[in-house]
A and B are shown apart, each in its own frame.
Chain A
């Protein structure tokens, strides 16, 4: 079992819809969770961080964390074609791996006009 698992996709949604991206992790002691967006041919860029159970909203993006179920999700409301990218989930437990974060392999999202 991978430490951080994501559906590879591709996930395809129509423009204006809600895109839901999911990530599960195996280290129950993880404290910090991150979503990165990577456009084709570009480097990943951080879009959301979440540290507490519940929802965190930033514009059209909402991160949801459920530590008991060991999953974190990213919702993108009013999806735009410019949201088409690969979304990487990263998880961190400061008490293990010397605090090194672990990345999932990413979910590719396509938003169709």
Chain B
């Protein structure tokens, strides 16, 4: 079946512009994560959606970052007034859900964001 998809695969924008990154999780997966990864660095957790629960936004680095998940499926990560330090690969992952801790995550290919 189809895996996690993300769009666009690459995004180049100018400093100060807003960008939207999209994630389509695997059908039936109730948990969805957004991560950021800078070159040579580990995964930086951004936000976590689990079913109908309020999202865990504890990883969002500033109020310029926001995310929503519509209908328990597609998610959009929005970065307002982009800065050069926002340049990174943004990864989305989904899992069946975390009941019992069975949180086997499947990652999308990522969106490489470059802010000029």
Asked whether A88 lies within 8 Å of B43 as measured between CB atoms, the reply is yes
The residue on A at minimum CB distance from B99 is: A94
Measured CA separation A32–B108 after assembly (Å): 22
A39 to B85, CA, bound (A): 24
Contact A46 B105 (CB under 8 A): yes
Taking CB atoms, residues of chain A closer than 8 Å to B41 are 105
Residues of B within 8 A of A90 (CB): 103, 105
- Which B residues are CB-close (under 8 A) to A94? 98-101
Q: Which of B42-99 contact A (CB under 8 A)?
A: 42-43, 45, 48, 50, 53, 56, 91, 93, 97-99
Task: Check A32–B102 contact: CB distance below 8 A.
Answer: yes
Question: In chain A between 23 and 59, which residues have their CB closer than 8 angstroms to a CB of chain B?
Answer: 30-32, 34, 36, 42-46, 49, 51
Question: Given that A43-B91, A94-B98, A98-B53 are contacting pairs, would A103 and B104 also be in contact in the complex, using a CB cutoff of 8 Å?
Answer: no
Let me know if A98 and B91 touch, CB within 8 A.
no
Q: Which of B56, B93, B104, B109 contacts A98 (CB 8 A)?
A: B56
Q: What chain A residues lie within 8 Å of B110 (beta carbons)?
A: 43
In the complex the two chains form, is A46's CB within 8 Å of B106's CB?
A: yes
B residues near A106, Cβ cutoff 8 Å: 42
Choose among A31, A103, A105 the residue that contacts B101 (Cβ–Cβ < 8 A): A31
Q: A103–B50 contact, CB under 8 A? A: no
Contact at A92–B101, with CB atoms within 8 Å? yes
Q: Please, could you name 30 A-B residue pairs with CB atoms under 8 Å apart, sorted by A?
A: A32-B100, A32-B101, A32-B103, A34-B104, A34-B105, A36-B105, A43-B107, A43-B108, A44-B93, A44-B105, A44-B107, A46-B105, A46-B106, A49-B104, A88-B42, A88-B43, A92-B101, A93-B101, A94-B99, A97-B56, A98-B53, A98-B98, A99-B99, A100-B45, A100-B48, A100-B50, A101-B105, A103-B42, A105-B42, A106-B42
Which 8 pairs of residues, A with B, have the shortest CB-CB distance? A99-B98, A105-B42, A32-B101, A43-B107, A94-B101, A31-B101, A92-B101, A101-B103
